Amino acid sequence: MLGGLSSGGGKAAKASFVSYVTPEEIKSEKEPFRKENNPDFLPGEVVFCSANTVLKYTQDDLSQRGVFGTLLCTNFRVSFVSDEVASDETSKLFKNKLYGENDIPLSCVDNIYGGYEDKKKLITGSLVKNKYPSKVIIHCKDLRVFQFSLTYSKEEDAKKIFQGIVHHCLEPKSLKCVFAFTYCEKSSGPEMQRKERTMLFNCLEDWTHDMKRTKGNCRLVRENSNFELSPRLPQFFVVPSNVSDEDLTKFQGKGLPMWCWSHHSGCALFKTPSLPQLPEDNVSQMYMEKMLTAVAHTHLYSVKTEDLSDTLPTLQDIQLSYNKFKQFFLIENTTEFWMSDMKWFSSLENCGWLDIIRQCLQKAVEVVECLEKENTNVLIMEEGGSDLCCVISSLVQLMLDPYYRTLLGFQSLVQKEWVIGGHAFLDRSNHLHLKEKVESQAPVFLLFLECVWQLHQQHGPAFQFSETYLTVLSDSLHVPAFTTFLFNNDSHRVSVLTAESPSSQRAVMNWPSVWDWSAQFDCKALDLFMNPLYAQKPKQDRSQRKTHRPKHQRQLSLPSSAFKTPAKKGFFKDEADSLKKILRVRRISRWMLSPSSESPQTSSSAREFYEAWQAKPLDYHGLLLPCLDGPSIRVWMQRYLRWIHEVQILGGGPVALLSKVYELLGDIQELRRELDRHACTQTPNHRGATTRPKVKSAAELSARSSVRLSSSFPFVTSRNWQFKPAIPTSMLQSLIMTGVAGDLASRDDDGGETETIV
């Protein structure tokens, strides 16, 4: 194998090249380890091709240093196995069981660039036939950047591995090639048996349970369990109680209000794919009116509708903006980093990503206001009904319902609104690299997670799960070992999985789910999914809530306010006369029609709504609203900055605080255990060491805290504590002063005394 080294090394190395080990050293010393140069393959994993003596550049600096090793491409991942023996075991704390720090799951590959001498070219599938670049740069969807040099490998191997990687990562393939279908690891079985579990909403019970929990009074549709009604509709779903059988299938689900959640006042949130309204098409208009009436019937005969396609950015906007945004974090070297640091804020603003997040949160707040303050039913719609509808409906539920802020609740929400709700995960991520699907690619689910993170960072104690959990979940979207995020809708999921499950082998439900986190992490690591700040709900809260209820009951019996104000101009022009009398169909707002306008027309009522809420003491188990002012919407630092060496705060960052809380929680648990033991034994003659709690000694404590964490914890552990501080380069250029300031800049400090200087 190593013989190739001399021939492959024929290509002249650059003079600036320095490496930890010279190729000769590898030859002499590393040979014994050669045979073990494989990653721990997963069951069902197959190696397609590999190349030895590939140099992986360490990203830390510009010195072109690196580590030699083997680059492999399997049906699951691109993997680099270092020739050097892994030395530091402390970095294993948050190790992913499926892939390591040098592994890239195939669907996690975002872009591949080829480095040809001084030029860097984006590789698209069809481009490569014979030539291969000396340097391969891989940008990952989880924002890691890998740089490999193929200069030292056998030409044949280098060509093969390059073409292999490009083929398996960029070229169209069929769904069946996705690793999940060959991954033979037995999933630990459905959680079904467990008392507390993630509700998957693929069965009647989950829907019944959720409706009961929210005291909804809608109709549970079970007629589609074999997709007899429509493959566009989930197996089970809930509609307003007045919807008749024939309404269900009239327009293949378009215009059919799907129940999302019921507010404790009785009103509810529905979503639907919008039904195009043509002026001469009476049938669809009649149908829509009927559906609106049905929604309105749910509570107080009032309904507001909102077409999200009109008021929120399009999928293309979202995709475009994110593509710009992510570039700020795909850093290849220090110079590039500090260059981009100069115009950081304006670049951030120009890509518009934070503004899209803000718009979604704003829209969700508006819907929350309708439900919470006005107690009207809300029907949100958009073309397709499964992108922004999912974002908004899940955000609304997260703000209103503390259950969804627990770990299991949140996962249930994702199942309900996204997985079963029919978000086209496969098309949006375009895992299969189909040319015809490029247009439909958009990080909608990530957008949702971003919004959740904003809420999380503003109101940490309200969430049972941690920021780390959100980051891992966003990564898991690109781990092709799970089927959760692999399909376009419920019938797609069921049909593929049924076809792939030989009836005896595996039931549809037994495919590995992303929610089975033990497949990726051991339980120590899973502790980091829990938010140590989470404020447990006090027990007496329940009774309080009940006493609050009658208020809404009273409103229910006095619905005068719903009728007094004259109905504003309806969104749907041809309302039936009878409808006009009882029904108030309104759009929520026209906000964001002109995104470029100087100040977005935030309705003053929404502002008041927020301020009224803010004036009250914050209840982490009640309504949660985000602050949307400029400084409050931030970059999800953990997700985006974790791999960038230059911004790691060694021994600092928010994790420094959280780890102190974790420590204290540990102490408390130990004490509690000790107290329990006391309570059990009750023997008076215990003495000495036997009964003493093992309270940590000072030495132990300081030893613990000396394991310093960096701000990138737990994703990167600072192995090398001896480090040079990052000193920004090229800063002055950006500070070119103009006008008055320019004049001032050249003056001396104490102008009064040294007037001669201008």
**616 to 645, contacts with other proteins by CB under 8 A?**
627, 629-632, 635, 637, 641, 644
Look up tokens 């992986």; give the residue.
56
C-alpha to C-alpha distance for 39 and 101, rounded to whole angstroms: 11
Which residues 350-369 are close enough to bind other proteins by CB under 8 A? 350, 354
Q: Of these, 14, 435, 660, 719, which contacts other proteins (CB under 8 A)?
A: 660
Considering the rule CB under 8 A, would residue 90 count as an interface residue with other proteins?
Answer: no
- Cα–Cα distances in angstroms (integers) from residue 479 to residues 52, 107, 511, in the given order: 26, 7, 14
Helices within 304-415 (DSSP H only): 308-311, 315-327, 334-342, 344-351, 353-372, 388-400, 407-413
Q: In angstroms, what is the minimal distance from the CB of 142 to other proteins? A: 18
C-beta closer to other proteins: residue 154 or 639: 639
- Cα–Cα distances in angstroms (integers) from residue 49 to residues 54, 79, 101, 113, 572, in the given order: 13, 11, 20, 19, 60
- Cα–Cα distances in angstroms (integers) from residue 623 to residues 211, 372, 618, in the given order: 19, 9, 9
Q: In angstroms, what is the minimal distance from the CB of 159 to other proteins? A: 39
Q: Of these, 36, 88, 577, 750, which contacts other proteins (CB under 8 A)?
A: 750
Rg of the chain over CA atoms, in angstroms?
Answer: 29
C-beta closer to other proteins: residue 124 or 754: 754
Query: How many CA atoms lie within 13 Å of 469's alpha carbon, on the beta-carbon side?
Result: 24
Which residues 507-536 are close enough to bind other proteins by CB under 8 A? 532-533, 535
Q: Which stretch binds other proteins (CB under 8 A): 74-82, 103-111, 547-555, 732-740?
A: 732-740
DSSP string, 207-245: HHHHHHHTT---EEE-TTTTSSS-TTS-SSEEE-TT--H
DSSP string, 188-204: ---GGGSSS----SSSH
Beta strand pairing status for 47-57 and 145-149?
antiparallel
Q: In angstroms, what is the minimal distance from the CB of 751 to other proteins? A: 5
Considering the rule CB under 8 A, would residue 279 count as an interface residue with other proteins?
Answer: no
C-alpha to C-alpha distance for 594 and 604, rounded to whole angstroms: 17
Q: Of these, 510, 571, 654, 717, which contacts other proteins (CB under 8 A)?
A: 654
Q: Of these, 318, 658, 716, 718, which contacts other proteins (CB under 8 A)?
A: 658
Q: Of these, 349, 439, 574, 619, which contacts other proteins (CB under 8 A)?
A: 349
- Cα–Cα distances in angstroms (integers) from residue 265 to residues 279, 298, 369, 451, in the given order: 36, 11, 13, 26
What number of chain residues touch other proteins (CB under 8 A)? 97
Neighbouring C-beta atoms of residue 586, cutoff 10 Å: 18
Q: Which stretch binds other proteins (CB under 8 A): 193-201, 344-352, 373-381, 580-588?
A: 344-352
On whether the CB atoms of residues 422 and 489 are closer than 8 A, the answer is: yes
Q: Of these, 614, 703, 707, 719, which contacts other proteins (CB under 8 A)?
A: 614
Task: For the chain, give the longest Cα–Cα distance.
Answer: 93
Q: Of these, 674, 680, 712, 715, which contacts other proteins (CB under 8 A)?
A: 674
Q: Of these, 67, 93, 348, 432, which contacts other proteins (CB under 8 A)?
A: 348
Q: Which stretch binds other proteins (CB under 8 A): 45-53, 199-207, 371-379, 742-750?
A: 742-750
Which residues 448-467 are close enough to bind other proteins by CB under 8 A? 459-461
Spatial neighbors of 69 by CB under 8 A, at least 6 apart, are: 37, 54, 56, 80, 81, 82, 83, 84, 102
Q: Which two tokens stand for residue 253?
A: 């689900």
Q: Which stretch binds other proteins (CB under 8 A): 85-93, 345-353, 398-406, 425-433?
A: 345-353
Q: In angstroms, what is the minimal distance from the CB of 436 to other proteins? A: 37
C-beta closer to other proteins: residue 127 or 741: 741
C-beta closer to other proteins: residue 192 or 701: 701
Q: In angstroms, what is the minimal distance from the CB of 599 to other proteins? A: 5
Q: Of these, 527, 600, 623, 717, which contacts other proteins (CB under 8 A)?
A: 600
C-beta closer to other proteins: residue 310 or 341: 341
Considering the rule CB under 8 A, would residue 611 count as an interface residue with other proteins?
Answer: yes
Look up tokens 């280098």; give the residue.
158
Beta strand pairing status for 103-105 and 135-140?
unpaired
Q: Of these, 69, 273, 402, 653, which contacts other proteins (CB under 8 A)?
A: 653
Q: In angstroms, what is the minimal distance from the CB of 719 to other proteins? A: 17
Q: In angstroms, what is the minimal distance from the CB of 607 to other proteins? A: 9
Which residues 203-262 are close enough to bind other proteins by CB under 8 A? none
C-beta closer to other proteins: residue 556 or 656: 656
C-beta closer to other proteins: residue 151 or 362: 362
CA 78 to centroid of chain Cα atoms? 22
Residue 272's φ and ψ, nearest 5 degrees, are -160, 150
Q: In angstroms, what is the minimal distance from the CB of 394 to other proteins? A: 23
Q: In angstroms, what is the minimal distance from the CB of 735 to other proteins? A: 6
On whether the CB atoms of residues 121 and 133 are closer than 8 A, the answer is: yes
Q: In angstroms, what is the minimal distance from the CB of 290 to other proteins? A: 41
C-beta closer to other proteins: residue 156 or 349: 349
On whether the CB atoms of residues 274 and 381 are closer than 8 A, the answer is: yes
Considering the rule CB under 8 A, would residue 344 count as an interface residue with other proteins?
Answer: yes
Query: How many CA atoms lie within 13 Å of 48's alpha carbon, on the beta-carbon side?
Result: 19
C-alpha to C-alpha distance for 659 and 532, rounded to whole angstroms: 9
Q: In angstroms, what is the minimal distance from the CB of 615 to other proteins? A: 6
Q: In angstroms, what is the minimal distance from the CB of 602 to other proteins? A: 8
Q: In angstroms, what is the minimal distance from the CB of 90 to other proteins? A: 19
Q: Which stretch binds other proteins (CB under 8 A): 100-108, 167-175, 500-508, 730-738?
A: 730-738
C-beta closer to other proteins: residue 577 or 749: 749
Q: In angstroms, what is the minimal distance from the CB of 642 to other proteins? A: 12
Q: Of these, 245, 246, 436, 749, which contacts other proteins (CB under 8 A)?
A: 749
Torsion of CA 221, 224, 225, 231, to 10 degrees: -140
Site string (675-714) toward other proteins, x via CB under 8 A: x--x-----xxxxx--xxx-xxxx--x---x-----x---
C-alpha to C-alpha distance for 389 and 306, rounded to whole angstroms: 10
C-beta closer to other proteins: residue 190 or 600: 600
Q: In angstroms, what is the minimal distance from the CB of 65 to other proteins? A: 21
- Sign of the Cα torsion 205, 208, 211, 212 reads negative
CA-based nearest residue to 399, from 467, 468, 458: 458
Sheet holding 268-273, edge to edge: 258-262, 268-273, 377-382, 302-307, 584-587
Which residues 282-341 are close enough to bind other proteins by CB under 8 A? 337-338, 341
C-beta closer to other proteins: residue 286 or 661: 661
Neighbouring C-beta atoms of residue 595, cutoff 10 Å: 15
C-alpha to C-alpha distance for 373 and 376, rounded to whole angstroms: 8
Which residues 370-399 are close enough to bind other proteins by CB under 8 A? none
